[in-house]
Amino acid sequence: MRDDDRTARHRIHDGTDVVVEGDAGAVGPDGPEPGQSQGVDPVPPRPQVLGDGLPCPCAEPESGNEDHVCAHDTHPRGCRRRCGSPTRSLPERHCSTGRKPRETPRPYGGRMTGAHGDLAALAAALDELRDGLVAAADADERWAQAHPAHRPGAENLAHYVALRRRDIRDLQSDLAAWGLSSLGRAEAHVLASVDAVRRAVGSLADLPEIDARPCPVDFVTGERLLERHATALLGPVHGGRRTRIMVTLPSEAATDAELVHRIVGAGAELVRINCAHDGPDAWAAMIDHVRRAERAHGRHVAVTMDLAGPKLRTGPVAPGPAVVHAKPERDALGRTVAPVQVRLTRPGPAAAAGEVVVPVTDELWLARRRPGDRIAFRDTRGSKRMLVVTGTAAGDVRTELTDTAYLVPGTRLTAHGDATAVAALPPRERRLTLHVGDELILDPDLTPADPDAHPPRIGCTLPRVFEDTRIGHRIFFDDGRIGGIVEEAAPGRLRIRITDADLRGSRLGTAKGINLPDTELRLPALTDEDLDRLPFVVAHADAVSLSFVRSAADVARLQDRLAELGGARLGVILKVETVAGFENLPSILFAALHSPRVGVMIARGDLAVEAGYGRLAEVQEEILWVCEAAHVPVIWATQVLDTLARTGRPSRAEITDAAASGRAECVMLNKGPYVDHAVRFLDDVLGRMADHQRKKDSLLRRLRAWEEPGVPLR
C-alpha cells in the first residue's frame, strides 16, 4: 500500500471520527476538525467492575464451574476480589491473608499439528482473546474521558492492559509455528494486530470472515500518533535520528551563555532546568541564554522544568575543622612524583572539584608575587613548608608544593619578608561511617549529627516517614549505596540495622537521598514549594515535570492547578521513580491523557533503588511497552553517558546503554564539563542505531561489513 493511500477512518465509542492521512484531518489537541462527525454510537452496557475499573480476573460468580481455580487459594469460589496487577514485575500483590498469588492458569494451551481442525481451534482462541479485550475496554470508562487527541491511544491502552493480564505464551508459540505474527509487537495497535493474525488464520483454514468492531488504531496510525504526540511535547528531531536529546543545565548556565550555545550547537533539542536548585533569577537567565542559542542555530529548543517534589533526605552532619589539606602525588615508596598545585586567591571564589584553593587576607600581597617567589609557612603540625610560585593570572597566584601540608585560617605566609595570612575557610564536610551489622538511628531532629556518636544517628527531612514506616521495611540511603532493615519503628524514631555497605564501610553525609520501597508514604507529589514555583514554570517553560508521581490523584492535582494558572496546554512529563508509580502506571496514564501534551520519564536512579537493580532492565522495558500502547512519548533518563560527560571518555557499558536508549522518543543527559561532547557522541550513536532498530523492530538494512571481495551479490 502506498503512503498516500494509507487513510484510515475509525469510530470510537463516543462517536468522534479520527481520520489519519499524513498529518491532515487528525483530531488535534483542540478536538475534532470542522466537518468531522459528531454522531453518537450506542455504547454497550458495562459490567460491574471494582478497583481500577477492570474486571476481576478470577470472578466467576454464577458460572457454576466447579473446576474454577481462583488466582489465590484463600479466595472462595466466585469471589470478585481484584487479584494481580497489570504486570508481573516487582514484589507481587498479596491477599489480605498475606499469601502470594499463584500463577493464573493459562486460558489457551495445546499445540498446533497443521490440520485445519487445529487452525480452527487457533482461530477460536483468537476470537476469545479479542472478545475479552473488547469487553475489558468496554468495562473501563477511563479511556473515554481522555482528551480527544489521546482517545484512540487511551482505548488502545485499555486493550493492552487487558492483554497483559493474560498469559498467551502458548498461543504465541503456536502462531509462530505457522509462520504468523506472535503478537509480540502489538503495543501501538493491539486490536489491529489480533485481527490481522485472525484473518491470516481464517484464510489458511478457509474459515468465513467475521464481523468485528473497528479498531481504534491500525498499524499506520498507531506509529503516526506516537510520533505526532512526541513532536507536540518534545519538538521535532534534529538530524537523521528518531530520538531527541535533552540536557540538564548546570547552575553555571545562568552566567555562561557560551556553555548553553555549545550544548545547543552539539545537537540538543531540549534542555531541562531542575527547580530543586538555584532560583527564579537564575532560571530566567538560563532560559534567556537558551532563546539566544536557538536564534543563533535557527531552530526551536524546548525548555522543561522539573518540580522537586517531596525531599526525603538525610539531615545535616556536624562539620569538621576549617582546614585545607594539600597532598602531592607519591609513588609506592613515598617519594614525591608530582607536586600538588595550590592556587592562592582573594576570599570568595569557590574551588572546583579536586582543586586546592587557599584564600588570603591581602589582595595587594597577591599582586606583588612573581614567578619563582618562594613562600614559606608552618602548617598545623609545625612542619616547615615551601610554596613555589609558577605563575599569576587575574589576581590569582599559582604555586606548587612538594610536601603534604595542612593550612588553617591565620596561617602566616611569608615571601621575602612580605607576609599575609590565610583567610577564613569553609568547614570540612564530615560523614558517618557505617558497616554491615551497625545500628543507625533515624529521627526528625535536624540538629547536626555527631559522626563520633555511638550508636550513630542522623536526621530526616520528612517527619511523615515516622508515621508510615513499619518494622521489617527496607530503607536505602545515598542512591542505594547503603541499605538496611527497620528493626524498631517508634513515634519519632526508627532503629535501622545496616545490611548493605562496603566491606571497609560506607560514608553517609548531609542531604543524601532516602528510599523506602516497602513503605506507602502518604505524601502528595506536588508540595507547597512546587505550587509556589508553578506560576514561573507556566510563564516560561514548554513543559513541566512532576517528580515522584505515585497515583492518578497526583496527576489530577497538577492538572487542576495548571488550569487555574491558565497553563492547561503546558506539556506534562511524569517521572516514574518509585515502585508505586510503576505499579499504578496504567491508571496514571489514563489520568495524564486528559492533558493535550503528555510524556513519561523513566527516572532510573531512584527507580533502580526502589525496584532493585536486578529488576531495572525488566521494569524499564515494561514502561516503554505500556507507554507505546498509550501513544505517549518516553524520556530515557539517568546516567546516560555519565562517565563521558564527567571525564571526557565513555565506559563500554554506557555505550551499550546509549544504543538501547534509541527505543525511547528522547534521551536525557546529565550535566558535566564534557556534556557537549556527550551530546555529539550520543547524536552519532542514535543516528547509527536508527538504521537498525525501531522500538521492538529490528531493521534489516544492507550490512556492508560482511561483504567479501569477489563474491557476487545475488
Q: Taking residues 656-679, what's their average pLDDT? A: 94
Residue 712 pLDDT grade (very low, low, confident, very high; cuts 50, 70, 90): low
Three cell numbers, residue 465: 516517614
Q: What is the pLDDT of residue 596?
A: 96
Q: What is the pLDDT of residue 319?
A: 93
Could you read off the pLDDT of 365-403 as tens digits, one per residue?
999 999 999 999 999 999 999 999 999 988 899 999 999
3-state secondary structure of 649: coil
Q: Taking residues 453-466, what's their average pLDDT? A: 94
Q: What percent of the chain has pLDDT over 70?
A: 82
**Helix extents (H) in 115-189:** 116-138, 151-164, 169-177
Three cell numbers, residue 390: 609558577
Model confidence at 694: pLDDT above 50: yes
Model confidence at 328: pLDDT above 50: yes
Could you read off the pLDDT of 133-160 as tens digits, one per residue?
999 999 999 999 999 999 999 999 999 9
Residue 237 pLDDT grade (very low, low, confident, very high; cuts 50, 70, 90): very high
Least reliable range by pLDDT among 50-54, 321-325, 695-699: 50-54
Q: What is the pLDDT of residue 701?
A: 77
219 neighbors 192 (Cβ within 8 angstroms): yes
The radius of gyration of the chain from alpha carbons, rounded to an integer in Å, stands at 31
Q: Taking residues 458-485, what's their average pLDDT? A: 95
Could you read off the pLDDT of 636-648 as tens digits, one per residue?
999 999 999 999 9
3-state secondary structure of 548: coil
Q: Count other C-beta atoms under 10 Å from residue 163's C-beta.
A: 22
Q: Taking residues 501-509, what's their average pLDDT? A: 95
Q: Taking residues 536-543, what's their average pLDDT? A: 97
Model confidence at 668: pLDDT above 60: yes
Model confidence at 92: pLDDT above 90: no
278 neighbors 308 (Cβ within 8 angstroms): no
Residue 346 pLDDT grade (very low, low, confident, very high; cuts 50, 70, 90): very high
Where does 518-642 show beta strands of DSSP type E? Answer: 543-546, 571-576, 598-603, 634-637
What average pLDDT is seen over the chain? 84
Q: What is the pLDDT of residue 36?
A: 40
662 neighbors 243 (Cβ within 8 angstroms): yes
Model confidence at 81: pLDDT above 80: no
